[in-house]
Amino acid sequence: MNLLFKFWSSSIGKKWLVALTGLALLGFVAAHLIGNLQMFAGAAKINAYAEFLHANEKPLWVARIGLIGAFLLHIAATLSLVRANRAARPESYALNRRVQSTFANRTMALSGLTVLAFVVFHLLHYTFRTTDPRFKTIAEGGLLETSFDVYHMVLLGFQNPLISGFYILSVGLLALHLSHGISSVVQTFGLKSKKSGLWIPKAGGVISLAIFAGYASIPAAILLGLLK
């Protein structure tokens, strides 16, 4: 806690908090993608994976609490930095900055807020299963064989083009957010003038694109009838 207050007390410290929590969230996004890609390995594989995760409640809750903490800190430190920047920056500088900034840079707030809205919907959709009455077991009046039948739940969910479209748009904005975020991490960690400052942003672009392609491939494959 003491360390957290030390970080929070300066703007450099807050930038480090945004960068470190961003990297932790990137780690989750990559791990979750690897888990989700098991959709292509068939129902037995991904359902066994879901059952394995839920059988380990303690580590699962530790990871969840870490994830929520990182998410909240990432947003709170960003908001605090934006507020301090606005208060310090004269209007004309804001106009000049627009010329130099990239599209990903200018859309950080929009992409971040869309990802936030997406995560809320996504949790209601597949974790709490409150948006679709079919996401219950047959015994409970739904269409799933067991509560770990993630394969059929995702299949049913993405057969709706509106929902699939929203997921694809959201993971696109997530990728845009990540591509700028990874470049910002380089600056925060003071690596910009070193060799790694050149290749990390490029690698960030490739990682973001791979994350987009990986996540979007699942709703796309279901809409195209490649997963049944």
Site for ligand HEM in 178-207 (CB under 6 A): none
Smallest distance, ligand HEM to C-beta of residue 151, A: 9
Dihedral angle at the C-alpha atoms of 67, 108, 35, 185, nearest 10 degrees?
-70
Q: Is 64 a binder of ligand HEM (CB under 6 A)?
A: yes
Number of residues in contact with ligand HEM under rule CB under 6 A = 19
Total residues belonging to the chain: 228
Q: Interface with ligand HEM includes 50 (CB under 6 A)? A: yes
Six-digit token pair at 52?
Answer: 């394995």
Separation CA 19–CA 77 (nearest Å): 10
Kindly state the tokens that stand for 202. 């490029």
Stretch that binds ligand HEM, among 28-36, 84-92, 99-107, 138-146 (CB under 6 A): 28-36
> Using CB under 6 A, which residues numbered 77 to 136 contact ligand HEM?
115, 119, 122-123, 126-127
* Residue 36 or 107 with smaller CB distance to ligand HEM: 36
Q: What are phi and psi of 148, to 5 degrees?
A: -95, 10
Beta bridge partners of 137: 144
Distance from C-alpha of 25 to C-alpha of 14, rounded to nearest angstrom = 16
Q: Which residues bind ligand HEM (CB under 6 A)?
A: 29, 32, 36, 50, 64, 115, 119, 122-123, 126-127, 150, 154, 167, 171, 174, 215, 218-219
